[in-house]
Amino acid sequence: MGTNVFAVQLFFVCFRESLEASIIISVLLSFVKQCMGQPGQDPEIYKRLRRQIWLGSGVGALICLIIGGAFIGVFYGLGHDIWAQSEDLWEGIFYLIASIIITVMGLTLLRINKAKEKWRVKIAKSLLKNQEDGVPKHRLATWSRKYAMFILPFITVLREGLEAVVFIGGVSLGLPATAFPIPIITGFAAGLLIGYFVYRGGNVMSIQIFLIASTCVLYLISAGMFSKSVWSLEMYRFSKKTGGDVAESGTGPGSYDISSTVWHINCCSGELDHGWDVFNALLGWENTATYGSVLSYNFYWIFIIVSVWLMRYQERHGSIPGTRSMWKALAKVPGFRTRAAEALNGPTESDRDIIARVQASNFHGENKTATGVSTTAH
């Protein structure tokens, strides 16, 4: 297995993005089923909403495919030659972007259950507004309320998809086109499959373990990318100074800047030797480690560790030490007053209450919602 036919990063990117999208869709589906699909409720409405969800997802995916195709086409058609000239520079930049995206988005994967809950609340809130606000103030508001079940999956799929596109473009710089199809297809398939299991409710524990494992891999890739981005930028600087001699030097002496090297082995190049290129893709392996690449790799993990423990602390204790006093200070600044108050006092209504309210109001005020939707539909 070489990176020529299977780019591991691409697989994980596609997997992650499609999983996220499918989970949101599945939450929507089960929510709609729960609220509208009960016996005694109007099957027409339920069907219509379900159709909206699938339509939204489909249109989102389609637009995303078009944009993605164009993006990658431009990327390879126009840009590739220019970028190939200073490949190290562009690789450095794209790896940095990719690494930041994974870092920010990656941990949410571990909060699927929490995310499901959040989404449920979000949907519930939008439905409640629908009922409570009475006469809509203008058309756009009416429209967006009416097609909430279309817009939500549409936006979600579009967002995840574009993320994947940017990511594929960034990561795949320098990869041959043959490395694309298999990881992308399998990645999407795996993501959708897991999404389906989540929807079906399956074994929560084994899904979670799977998610943890894949998140671990994702972060290994990301740490490697971060380090590689530093490495590439350094290499760019070095090869620029050497006037391009480095590229032809293979793995031996002269292919690296000895003055900033922590270790170098004259083999096992992550770019030239087969087998090692998988390590390069997964862990960012290079046969030359510079101070920059080693330190950035370590600092990346330290950052991840600190972030994870802060998030955990916040979940357990409601806030991170020191943030309360920060918000208090901000509360005195005019522009931040509302936001600070919100952060300090927390939501007025508990999530659990909102969900319960929706379930209740739907159950009891069934006709109201139903007629509301059907009349505007005419």
Q: What's the closest the beta carbon of residue 252 comes to other proteins, in angstroms?
A: 8
* CB closer to other proteins out of 59 and 89: 89
Instruction: Tell me the one-letter amino acid at 18.
Output: S
Phi, psi of 221 (to 5 degrees): -60, -45
Q: What's the closest the beta carbon of residue 130 comes to other proteins, in angstroms?
A: 13
| DSSP structural state of residue 259 | G
Contact present, 358 and 128 (Cβ < 8 Å): yes
Distances (CA, A) of 334 to 337, 342, 372: 5, 14, 40
**DSSP string computed for 241-293:** HTTT-GGGGTTSTTSS-GGGEEEE-SS--TTTSTTHHHHHHHH---SEEEHHH
* CB closer to other proteins out of 75 and 279: 279
Phi, psi of 244 (to 5 degrees): 85, 5
Q: Which residues does residue 290 pair with via DSSP β-bridges, in sequence order?
A: 261
Q: What's the closest the beta carbon of residue 64 comes to other proteins, in angstroms?
A: 28
Distances (CA, A) of 184 to 16, 38, 234: 11, 38, 30
Q: Which two tokens stand for residue 53?
A: 């969800």
Instruction: Tell me the one-letter amino acid at 32.
Output: V
Contact present, 45 and 373 (Cβ < 8 Å): yes
Q: What's the closest the beta carbon of residue 165 comes to other proteins, in angstroms?
A: 26
* CB closer to other proteins out of 115 and 151: 115
CA atoms within 13 A on the CB side of 41: 22
Return residues touching other proteins (CB under 8 A).
30, 33-34, 38, 107, 110-114, 116-117, 120, 132, 201, 204-205, 208, 211-212, 215-216, 219-220, 223, 238, 241-243, 245-246, 248-249, 253-255, 257-259, 262-266, 289, 294, 297-298, 301-302, 304-305, 308-309, 311-312, 315, 349, 352-353, 355-357, 359-361, 363-364
* CB closer to other proteins out of 106 and 183: 106
* CB closer to other proteins out of 172 and 296: 296
Smallest CA-to-CA distance from 13 within 156, 214, 301 is with 214
* CB closer to other proteins out of 32 and 173: 32
Q: What's the closest the beta carbon of residue 268 comes to other proteins, in angstroms?
A: 10
* CB closer to other proteins out of 158 and 221: 221
Q: What's the closest the beta carbon of residue 249 comes to other proteins, in angstroms?
A: 6
Q: Which residues of 329-338 are buried (b: 16+ CB within 10 A; e: fewer)?
A: ebbeeeeeee
Q: What's the closest the beta carbon of residue 312 comes to other proteins, in angstroms?
A: 6
Q: What's the closest the beta carbon of residue 25 comes to other proteins, in angstroms?
A: 15
Separation of CA 114 from chain center: 16
* CB closer to other proteins out of 51 and 114: 114
- Strand stretches in the chain, DSSP E: 261-264, 288-290
Smallest CA-to-CA distance from 217 within 281, 306, 312, 309 is with 281
Q: What's the closest the beta carbon of residue 34 comes to other proteins, in angstroms?
A: 6
* CB closer to other proteins out of 114 and 337: 114
Furthest C-alpha separation in the chain: 79
